[in-house]
Amino acid sequence: MQLPAPHVPAHLRRYVVEQDYAEYTAVDQAVWRFVLLQTYSRLCDTAHAAYREGLARTGISVERIPSIGEMNEKLSRFGWSAVCVDGFIPPRAFQEFQASAILPIAAEIRTREHLVYTPAPDIIHEAAGHAPILPDPVFSAYVRRMGELGRRAFTLPEDDSVYQAIHFLSEIKESPAASAEQVADAEQALSGVLGELGAPSEAARLSRLYWWTAEYGLVGSVDDYRIYGAGILSSLWESHACHARSVRKLPLHEGCIEVGYDITQPQPQLFVVSDFEALHEVLERVADTLAFKRGGPVALAAALASQDLASVKTSSGAWLMGVLAEVAPTLVKPAWLRFSESISVSWDGELALELPILRDVARVLPVGPLADSSELVELTQSGLERFRDSVSGRHRLSFARGVSVEGRVERGHWQQGRLLALEFSDARLERPGLPELVFDRYLLVPVGEVVTVEAGAADVAYYPETDYSSARVPKPRIVSAREQALSDLYQQARRAHAQGVAGVSSSFPEVHARLTREFPEEWLLRWNLLESLLKVGVHSPLVERLQTELERLELHYARREPIASGLRYLSGSVAA
């Protein structure tokens, strides 16, 4: 059983599944070898210098699909770990994994129909694409920093619709059972969602920088570059097509966050960074535009627009975590904050208290100093008495911007001389020009001023712990009798190849005879047979026959399959 990385944040464990290695078929292994043998041969000269050594150093062989457990062990030497996930995971979760130096790897593998390029996440992309460059410390730090910023950047409500549409289209395009009509409908649905978008969110802009660097980046100069982006490293087509003159090469700059991309199509332009140190420079310039870095009114406006969980950093030292619904009367100097859900409070990085869930009553907290210009957080137990009415025993605290809280203080919470909260019963909250709010119980947390707001929960303890998933991937597949017969032939050829000259000489003629009778249009297994014969040095009439058949199939498939690419690879490997 694959052991998950021990430091997976508790709220992310639900995304971690087990790699069921036995579910990989001989066809899957053939797909892996076909792609990796060629990309490795090509990329040794065109990829970043870290690529060649990075494969072996991170537990990846061109000969077989990697074990994620082995990759986890190898990556630990470079401060990283690996976990298995089931395809797409939410962008925020992906960013949190990377911020924690955990590489999430989708364990499914692309089908034979999508050897050249797949829009869906698969183990070729995640393992052979992302992992090899991670041992480079400068690039590794860039990926982690990107994750840290990504989890704090604000989305917009429309972002989820785009994510769902892309997810659906990717899955449809990868499914062998999908019809042309289904693909067209999914493409139209994505186009419709994109057509309704306004300005992209800051999270979407940051994801574009990740796309044009970690996914599709080149390093060097526009005239002399090397590949380091995972999307190119793992694509048989892109690793070749990226060099075409029709693909524009542009110097990387922060303006790339304004350039959109289509995950389901080859890219029309690529960005070139001078070196990995320059990645950090560009990233920090982009980071300075993010709302949480700018703080104040900009951050408050972004939180309101996102309609999602946010963390408000206050001058009192408290972090307020909830869905911000209103900042009034102005963003510049608000008098109060209203949350649409319960609020959790963190002091000094520790989840301290949870505001009571008040049914049918807004969650409102005053902002700014008290009316006498003092700060609520500095209020002592003895000082509280000056706000108490001696007759009724009730306390009334008035704030400089017109808000007041009045009620019976049942309990106060102090820590090292700092007021954390006051618990009121039978409380009334007054705001200028608005109806009074009445609370059976009310927790007043010192806010002071709003410093900044970031997306998500600043304290991971906010999230409930989750258990590791019981799912196993790849998932079992239902195959027809014909598909099973073909898979058995792949397995027979794989066993024969492992036995060397003796196995190849005795078994391959029988395998080929069945191909001729039952699978005249099957090209990948024929390529495997030819590659194996050439590798073990068996020179027989079958070599020439397989060569001729593959050339015929190249014409039969109207060059839509990478047969010519495979033959060129074999020609070069034999010559070498």
Q: What tens digit of pLDDT does each residue of 53-78 get? A: 898 899 999 999 999 999 999 999 99
pLDDT digits (tens, 9 = 90+) for 170-184: 777 766 677 888 878
Mean pLDDT of 491-512: 94
pLDDT at 359 over 50: no
Residue 575: what pLDDT?
Answer: 47
The Cα 418–Cα 317 span in angstroms is 10
- Please state which architecture CATH assigns to domain 10-155+201-283: Orthogonal Bundle (1.10)
β-bridge pairing 218-220 and 225-227:
antiparallel
Structure tokens at 558: 């109207």
Other beta carbons within 10 angstroms of residue 267's beta carbon come to 22
Residue 169: what pLDDT?
Answer: 75
Using alpha carbons, select from 255, 154, 156, 261 the residue that is nearest to residue 198: 156
Residues of the chain with pLDDT > 70, as a percent, come to 94
The Cα 122–Cα 105 span in angstroms is 8
246: Cβ contacts below 8 Å, ≥ 6 apart: 268
Assess contact for 110 and 120: CB atoms under 8 A.
Answer: yes
Strand locations in 299-417, DSSP E?
309-314, 318-328, 336-339, 344-347, 350-354, 363-366, 395-398, 404-415
Higher pLDDT, 88 or 381: 381
* Secondary structure of residue 7 in the 3-state scheme: coil
33: Cβ contacts below 8 Å, ≥ 6 apart: 62, 63, 64, 528
Residue 192: what pLDDT?
Answer: 77
Other beta carbons within 10 angstroms of residue 518's beta carbon come to 12
User: Per the confidence metrics, is the pTM higher than 0.85?
Assistant: yes
Q: Rounded to 5 degrees, what are φ and ψ at 406?
A: -135, 135
Residue 264: what pLDDT?
Answer: 66
Assess contact for 394 and 406: CB atoms under 8 A.
Answer: yes
Mean pLDDT of 427-450: 94
Residue 1: what pLDDT?
Answer: 42
Mean pLDDT of 341-352: 83
Most confident of 83-87, 311-315, 441-445: 311-315
Please give the C-alpha separations between residue 200 and each of 215, 259, 418, 542, in angstroms, as whole numbers: 19, 11, 41, 57
Segments in 151-201 forming alpha helices (H): 157-174, 180-195
pLDDT digits (tens, 9 = 90+) for 263-286: 767 789 999 999 999 999 999 999
Mean pLDDT of 94-106: 96
Mean pLDDT of 384-408: 96
Assess contact for 429 and 407: CB atoms under 8 A.
Answer: no
Per DSSP, the residues of 504-526 read HHHHHHHHHHHHHHH-TT--HHH
pLDDT at 361 over 80: no
pLDDT at 476 over 50: yes
Q: Is 182 exposed, middle or buried (0-12, 13-18, 19+ CB in 10 A)?
A: middle
Assess contact for 51 and 131: CB atoms under 8 A.
Answer: no
The Cα 121–Cα 472 span in angstroms is 16
Residue 362: what pLDDT?
Answer: 57
Alpha-carbon 279 to chain mean position: 19
User: Over the chain, what is the mean pLDDT?
Assistant: 91
pLDDT at 457 over 90: yes
Mean pLDDT of 78-105: 94
pLDDT digits (tens, 9 = 90+) for 6-48: 579 999 999 999 999 999 999 999 999 999 999 999 898 899 9
The Cα 199–Cα 101 span in angstroms is 31
Please give the C-alpha separations between residue 399 and each of 366, 403, 450, 528, 530, in angstroms, as whole numbers: 7, 5, 15, 78, 82
Mean pLDDT of 478-484: 92
Q: What is the CA radius of gyration of the chain?
A: 30
Per DSSP, the residues of 419-453 read EEEEEEEEEEEE-TTSPPEEEEEEEE----SEEEE
Higher pLDDT, 404 or 575: 404
Residue 358: what pLDDT?
Answer: 45
Task: Quickly tell me which residue has 């598909």 as its tokens.
Answer: 483
Give the DSSP H or E segment for 563: helix 563-575
Residues of the chain with pLDDT > 90, as a percent, come to 75
Residue-wise burial string across 321-357, b where 16 or more C-beta atoms lie within 10 A, e elsewhere: bbbbbebbbeeeebbbbbbeeebbbbbeeebbbebbe
Structure tokens at 243: 């060099």
Stated length of the chain? 576
Most confident of 109-123, 168-182, 326-340: 326-340
Per domain, the residue ranges of the chain are 10-155+201-283, 295-458, 481-575
Which amino acid makes up residue 168? F
